[in-house]
């Protein structure tokens, strides 16, 4: 399929009821608030790791699996959501996502042993993996092209603020009592959102009885899982002692993902693929995807290095670190709606290029920080970095998905979500590997522990700045795409030209 062609017969968009603007706002509000709850929980465990190590008597590497398993599960589940969201109703997808998240949260709160807590995090991540593509697909379906920038900006506010608040919220709750409060506090909020959502959410479109290729499912699960796991292990301190080298796991993941891609391309010619890669034939989407991956690599690298720098080099507590990083997250979130409005007026290039340049500059300045750097300067740089990212992410998501025809919205959202996880793992592995290697070299040359770590962190930020520079080059290719072709009449026609319905088609 070439850019701009219409869907094949078996991909005909489903029908949806016409919704009033007030009803559209209500639907999006339910999904946004629910997404906020599940994303907040993604980072709420950060400050609890030391306490969990003591209570369950596990190593730091084992405790780190609470985050790694969450990311792995997201990478495994998201590729399937493109097919899943077309097969079930909106209310069913929402109900399943929230049920999984609530079940995982309740199990985590009552976990008697570390393996149970780890399993609970996997269940939580399964629900989160469904919620994000559901939100993006529903937005692209309901909101007209001329208003998507503003709405996407409001969604960026929630998506940005939730992960930023996680460490601070966990710091406060851990001061009040047990680590179980991290989950007990979330249960009533998530439960209320689930009940309210099921009562008020309406179905967007009709489910399609699309077949599933069962060979593609394990290829996607094992391939993306191995790729993310292998990349995550490349930067680990004990990578050399691992039973299977992370490099081998990463290579296996690359091969399996390659087989998955080959399988989808073959299915596109004769059947229904699990993940429709024809979205990648749209140049605007592919360029936006590349910029998103580079920006996410740089951002995740910085987010990993900053807490290490603030606590191990500057001597701040975990609570102080979380509080210091909140203004940056709030900046990104609060700028989201304004950037969205500017996108509707100015288009993508005028926002993305300055945003990417500001991001690269801030990462370069972080590379000059040291033991004597004031935390206030770090705060200012983090706020500026977050502002730069706000000018990148909202236009990139909006322009990238807007160019796709309606039947590819779920698949485009799934591709974005899957590669986000891969980019996060790759960025983290790269900066941690560089940081560890340069710190070891500095220590061998006579630097003390803190000085050696500071040297390694500066090199890590330097790598992030290099990635940011590449993002600037890709940003120069970003264009504001024309709106995809929309039905000109409320009476869509079948292949033979006869009228099939009085209702305007709206995709799932």
* pLDDT classification of 488: cutoffs 50, 70, 90: very low
Whether residue 103 has pLDDT greater than 90:
yes
Whether residue 131 has pLDDT greater than 80:
yes
- Report the pLDDT value the prediction gives residue 205, as an integer from 0 to 100: 65
Three-state SS at 499: strand
Write the pLDDT tens digit of every residue in 14-52: 434 566 777 777 888 888 888 888 877 777 776 777 788
Least confident of 74-88, 292-306, 361-375, 430-444: 74-88
Residues 6+ apart with CB under 8 A from 300: 423, 424, 427, 428
Least confident of 130-144, 184-198, 229-243, 263-277: 229-243
Of residues 294 and 86, more confidence is placed in 294
- Report the pLDDT value the prediction gives residue 240, as an integer from 0 to 100: 65
Write the pLDDT tens digit of every residue in 311-349: 888 888 877 887 888 888 788 878 878 888 888 888 888
* pLDDT classification of 237: cutoffs 50, 70, 90: low
Whether residue 1 has pLDDT greater than 50:
no
DSSP state of 505: B
Measured distance CA(331)–CA(158) in Å, rounded: 11
- Report the pLDDT value the prediction gives residue 137, as an integer from 0 to 100: 79
Read off the pLDDT of each residue in 80-86 and give the average, rounded to a whole number.
79
Least confident of 43-47, 257-261, 329-333, 407-411: 43-47
Of residues 159 and 356, more confidence is placed in 356
Q: Transcribe 87-117 into DSSP letters.
A: HS-HHHHHHHHHHHHHHHHHHHHT-SSHHHH
Write the pLDDT tens digit of every residue in 298-316: 888 887 788 888 888 888 8
* pLDDT classification of 496: cutoffs 50, 70, 90: very low
Read off the pLDDT of each residue in 242-262 and give the average, rounded to a whole number.
86
Whether residue 505 has pLDDT greater than 60:
no
- Report the pLDDT value the prediction gives residue 46, as an integer from 0 to 100: 67
Read off the pLDDT of each residue in 478-483 and give the average, rounded to a whole number.
73
* CA neighbor of 297 nearest in space, from 454, 472, 430: 430
Measured distance CA(508)–CA(494) in Å, rounded: 19
Whether the CB-CB separation of 353 and 287 falls below 8 Å is answered with no
Least confident of 133-142, 161-170, 365-374, 461-470: 161-170
CA dihedral 143, 147, 152, 153 (to 10 degrees): -150
- Report the pLDDT value the prediction gives residue 227, as an integer from 0 to 100: 82
Q: Transcribe 1-27 into DSSP letters.
A: --TTPPPPGGGPPPB-----HHHHHHH
Write the pLDDT tens digit of every residue in 179-227: 899 899 889 989 998 898 888 777 776 667 667 777 888 888 888 888 8
b/e burial code for range 40-79 (CB count within 10 A of at least 16 → b):
bbbbbbbbbbeebbeebebeeeebebbbbbbbbbbbbbbb
- Report the pLDDT value the prediction gives residue 366, as an integer from 0 to 100: 92
Please, what is the end-to-end C-alpha distance for the chain in angstroms?
Answer: 21
Three-state SS at 493: strand
Of residues 315 and 506, more confidence is placed in 315
Percent of the chain with pLDDT over 70: 84
- Report the pLDDT value the prediction gives residue 105, as an integer from 0 to 100: 94
CA dihedral 407, 344, 155, 88 (to 10 degrees): -10
Whether residue 254 has pLDDT greater than 70:
yes
Residues 6+ apart with CB under 8 A from 43: 162, 163, 164, 166, 167, 170
- Report the pLDDT value the prediction gives residue 71, as an integer from 0 to 100: 76
- Report the pLDDT value the prediction gives residue 431, as an integer from 0 to 100: 84
Of residues 412 and 240, more confidence is placed in 412
């Amino acid at each position: 399929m070439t850019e701009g062609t219409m869907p094949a017969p078996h991909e005909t968009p489903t029908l949806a009821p016409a919704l009033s603007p007030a009803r559209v706002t209500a639907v999006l509000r339910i999904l946004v608030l629910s997404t906020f709850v599940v994303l907040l929980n993604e980072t709420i465990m950060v400050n609890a790791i030391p306490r969990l190590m003591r209570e369950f008597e596990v190593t730091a590497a084992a405790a780190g699996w609470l985050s790694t398993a969450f990311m792995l599960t997201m990478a495994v589940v998201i590729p399937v959501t493109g097919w899943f969201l077309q097969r079930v109703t909106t209310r069913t997808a929402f109900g399943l996502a929230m049920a999984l998240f609530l079940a995982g949260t309740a199990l985590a709160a009552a976990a008697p042993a570390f393996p149970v807590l780890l399993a609970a995090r996997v269940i939580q991540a399964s629900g989160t993996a469904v919620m994000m593509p559901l939100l993006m697909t529903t937005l692209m379906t309901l909101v007209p092209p001329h208003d998507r920038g503003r709405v996407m900006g409001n969604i960026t506010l929630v998506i940005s603020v939730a992960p930023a608040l996680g460490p601070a919220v966990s710091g406060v709750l851990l001061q009040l009592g047990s680590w179980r409060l991290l989950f007990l506090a979330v249960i009533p909020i998530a439960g209320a959102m689930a009940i309210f959502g099921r009562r008020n959410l309406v179905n967007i479109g009709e489910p399609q009885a699309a077949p599933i290729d069962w060979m593609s499912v394990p290829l996607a699960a094992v391939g993306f899982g191995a790729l993310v796991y292998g990349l995550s292990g490349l930067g680990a301190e004990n990578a050399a002692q691992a039973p299977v080298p992370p490099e081998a796991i990463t290579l296996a993941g690359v091969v399996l993902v390659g087989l998955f891609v080959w399988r989808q391309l073959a299915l596109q010619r004769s059947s229904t693929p699990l993940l429709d890669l024809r979205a990648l034939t749209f140049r605007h989407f592919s360029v936006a995807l590349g910029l998103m991956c580079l920006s996410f690599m740089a951002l995740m690298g910085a987010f990993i290095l900053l807490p290490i720098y603030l606590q191990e080099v500057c001597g701040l507590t975990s609570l102080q670190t979380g509080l210091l990083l909140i203004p940056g997250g709030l900046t990104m979130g609060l700028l989201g709606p304004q950037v969205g409005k500017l996108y509707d007026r100015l288009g993508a290039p005028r926002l993305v290029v300055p945003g990417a340049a500001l991001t690269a500059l801030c990462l370069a300045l972080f590379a000059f920080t040291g033991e004597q750097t004031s935390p206030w300067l770090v705060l200012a740089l983090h706020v500026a970095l977050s502002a730069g990212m706000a000018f990148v992410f909202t236009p990139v998501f909006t322009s990238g998905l807007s160019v796709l025809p309606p039947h590819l919205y779920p698949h485009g959202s799934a591709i974005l979500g899957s590669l986000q996880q891969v980019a996060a793992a790759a960025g983290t592995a790269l900066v941690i590997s560089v940081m560890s290697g340069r710190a070891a070299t500095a220590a061998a040359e006579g630097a003390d522990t803190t000085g050696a770590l500071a040297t390694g962190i500066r090199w890590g930020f330097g790598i992030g700045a290099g990635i940011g520079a590449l993002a600037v080059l890709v940003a120069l290719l970003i264009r504001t795409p024309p709106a995809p072709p929309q039905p000109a009449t409320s009476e869509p026609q079948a292949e033979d030209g006869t009228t099939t319905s009085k209702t305007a088609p709206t995709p799932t």
